[in-house]
Structure 1
Amino acid sequence: MDRFHQVNPFAKRDSHSPASVLWYKVLTLASWLLSVVVTVYYTFEAPHDGKHHRGTIWHQNDHHPSGFTLSPIITSIYWIALFLLQLVYISHLFSPSSSNSTNSVNAACSVGSHFILHNLLHAAFVALFVRSRFGWAEVLLALDFANLTSLYFRHNTYPRGIHFPAVSGPLAWAFVALCWNGAIMVPHQASLVARVFANVFVWAFLGYGLFFIVFYKDYTMGFALSVLSASLGVAQFLRQVIALQWIFAFTIMAVLFVMTVLVAVPAWTGRELPCSRCPVWFSVG
């Protein structure tokens, strides 16, 4: 068992050797660049291989309308912000030598294996999505969701500069993307039956967000899901004004945003209530 713990890249460790830190620096930066390049490229260019219907990310989004169609503008802003904040996380790996920076480097390395795997799965998902391989894309999303969920519950006590870009931000996206891609994958996704199911499952956004806000006081998850709910609401409103989905999405957005503010403001001002499950950044203004 000890031998397995030593070779398991996902094992929780209190410290990391200089060699392993070096590998985390190289692989984290390389996988992040791969994720960014693949995402940006397929945002503007469609693949030129394969026999299936091909298109850019947002062409696929518009070409397969469903109850979970997202706003290209809001979702793109979300990902631009997330990619930039992930640079902040990566910078923790390159912190100069000191007692505080050593803790920062160890924290960044602790989530490194999950973050690297997320980047690889995200790049593969995008490559499959733009090639209309929605079934396989959903499998990769499910694997990434499991990977990020494991990361969240095993490593949720690190500073905000690590937690949001490497943990909660990608996890919120993976949850929403499962519904987004899953709705596209279903035949007749624009039918009445599909829309009724979408009207029901959209409330999972609220339940999922409230779970982290109420039990973990994680306002980063609440904020991320409120932004993605806004993306859903805008896209559904522009697609079909006479419909329930955009009303539900904006209601969910509003509730999550209010709950996020109610938790975030006391945390920032130092008046938060004690919470045994809360990450350390919750009590760090």
Structure 2
Amino acid sequence: MAETSSQQAYNYKITTIGSLILSIYFSFQFILDYSKLSSEISTTPFSNFFIFIFIYWIFYYLVQIVYIQTCLSDDVDSSGTSILSITNSVISFNLTNVVWVILFKNRWYLLSEILVIIQLFVILNNYLINKVYSFKPLKNYLIINLTVGSLPLSWIFMTLFWNGSLMIHSKGLAARILANCFIWDFLIIGWVFLFWFNDYTIGLSLSYLVLGLALNQLFTKLFALQWIFAFVISGILFASSIVTMTLKPELKESIVVEEEPLLAN
């Protein structure tokens, strides 16, 4: 049984590394082509500051590398939750990100929006079923939840609106007014995860992305409400996340996973 589990861990490790390399490669290609697309994709009401996106993905890839090294070890033991099962979500997110980049670069915004919606349901389903928000101790919570839960989810929520605004060509006054309303969804989404799951990592990652949105909107359209609302939402999410982290550090339905190894059969 141990040999089988060890082989499974090795196979998952190789597959995850392969999907990570593909995702990094296509993300790099997107960066190279960004200048050709920037005049279109950086001027919607939900466009983000490019440097914020770049830093976000660099951080996510580094976290994923730590996840691969820490969680997908060759030594496998029994525990209450299967890291191998959770890793399917990592592989899926990497590969769908590759497809999204291809669709997005080619301006197939309807198809890329559909893919983002599918990503949302897959990641959210995995988040809820495997309770990736409830691992402890803190080291395991951060490694697993950042990789599988909060960072992918926050990005998908942001992309859902960004991609959607490109799909409907939202540059007119009516679209801007609607965007002023829809931007508050980020606050609602953040609060749901903060108060329902005590997941301050989603609150912080959403706060960061909304801050990037605020800065981009400030430079795109100075006389507008979008960047003002974005700064307010980012600040509230950040403060709420710090309060949750300080006053409610307990994880909902905590799942204790041994330090070494983290894998399950």
**TM bracket, shorter-chain basis:** 0.7 to 0.9
What is the aligned-residue identity percentage? 29
Which amino acid letter does the alignment assign opposite residue 157 of structure 2? F
What is the deviation of 1:237? 0.3
Give the conservation status (yes or no) of the 8 Å contact 2:127–2:148. no
AA of the residue aligned to 1:237? L
| CA-to-aligned-CA distance 1:23-80 (integer Å, 9 cap, x gap) | 2111111111111111012211x3xxxxxxxxx3x64343242111110011111111
Match of 1:138 in 2: 113
Q: CA deviation at 1:95?
A: 2.8
Matched, 1:41 2:16: no
- CA–CA distance in 1 between the matches of 2:12 and 2:251? 32
Distance in 2 between the 1:97 and 1:279 partners? 20
Match of residue 37, structure 2, among 60, 64, 75: 60
Residues 278 and 220 of structure 1, relative CA distance in 2, 3 Å threshold: farther
Return the offset for 1:98. 7.3
Determine the C-alpha separation between the residues in 2 that align with 1:98 and 1:34: 27
Deviations 1:154-184 (CA, angstroms, capped at 9, x unpaired): 1223321111122210111001101001001
Kept in 2: contact 1:203–1:252 (CA 8 A): yes
Tell me what 1:219 maps to: 200
Q: What is the CA-CA distance between 1:135 and the residue it aligns to? A: 0.8
Question: TM-score by structure 2 length?
Answer: 0.86
The one-character-per-residue Cα deviations of 1:231-263 (angstroms, maximum 9, x if unpaired) are 110000001111000001010000000011112
**Other structure's SS at 1:97 match:** coil
Alpha-carbon shift at residue 195 of structure 1 (Å): 0.5
SS of 1:149's partner is: helix
Query: In 2 relative to 1, CA 37–153 (structure 1 residues): closer, same or farther, beyond 3 Å?
Result: same
Task: Report the counterpart of residue 262 of structure 2 in structure 1.
Answer: none
Q: Measure, in 2, the Cα distance between the counterparts of 1:133 and 1:280.
A: 43
Instruction: Give 1:114 deviation, angstroms.
Output: 1.3
SS in 2 for 1:111: helix
Cα RMSD for the two superposed structures? 2.2
CA 230–21 in structure 1, closer or farther in 2 if over 3 Å, else same: same
**Which of 143, 167, 175 in structure 1 is aligned with 2:149?**
167
Residue 204 (str. 1) matches residue 179 (str. 2): no
* 2-structure distance, mates of 1:60, 1:139: 20
Aligned residues: 246
Query: In 2, are the aligned partners of 1:114 and 1:151 still within 8 Å (CA)?
Result: yes
Q: Supply the distance in 2 between the matched residues of 1:210 and 1:241 (Cα, whole angstroms).
A: 28
Q: 1:109 maps to what in 2? A: 84
Distance across 2 between alignment mates of 1:184 and 1:98: 45
1:26 aligned partner: 14
Kindly state the Cα deviation for residue 115 of structure 1 after the two structures are TM-superposed: 1.2
Aligned twin of 2:261: none
Find 2:94's aligned residue among 119, 143, 155: 119
Taking a change above 3 Å as real, the CA distance of residues 135 and 80 of structure 1, as seen in their structure-2 partners, is: same
Per-residue Cα deviation, 1:185-227 (whole angstroms, up to 9, x for no partner): 103x110011011111100000000000111110100011000
TM-score by length of 1: 0.80
Q: Does residue 1:248 correspond to 2:229, yes or no? A: yes
For 1:133 and 1:279, the matched residues in 2 are separated by: 41
Separation in structure 2 between the aligned mates of residue 190 and residue 248 of structure 1, nearest angstrom: 18
Q: Which amino acid aligns with 2:121?
A: A
1:263 maps to amino acid: T
CA distance in 1: counterparts of 2:244 and 2:36, whole angstroms: 37
- Residue ranges of structure 2 left out of the alignment (5+ in a row): 258-265
* TM-fit CA distance, 1:96: 5.7
Question: In the alignment, is the contact (CA less than 8 A) between 1:70 and 1:231 conserved in 2?
Answer: yes
Cα 1:277–1:255 shift into 2, 3 Å = farther
Query: What amino acid maps onto 1:43 in structure 2?
Result: I
Taking the aligned partners of 1:117 and 1:125, their CA distance within structure 2 comes to: 12
Q: Contact between 2:10 and 2:72, CA under 8 Å: does it hold in 1?
A: no
Code of the aligned partner of 1:140:
L
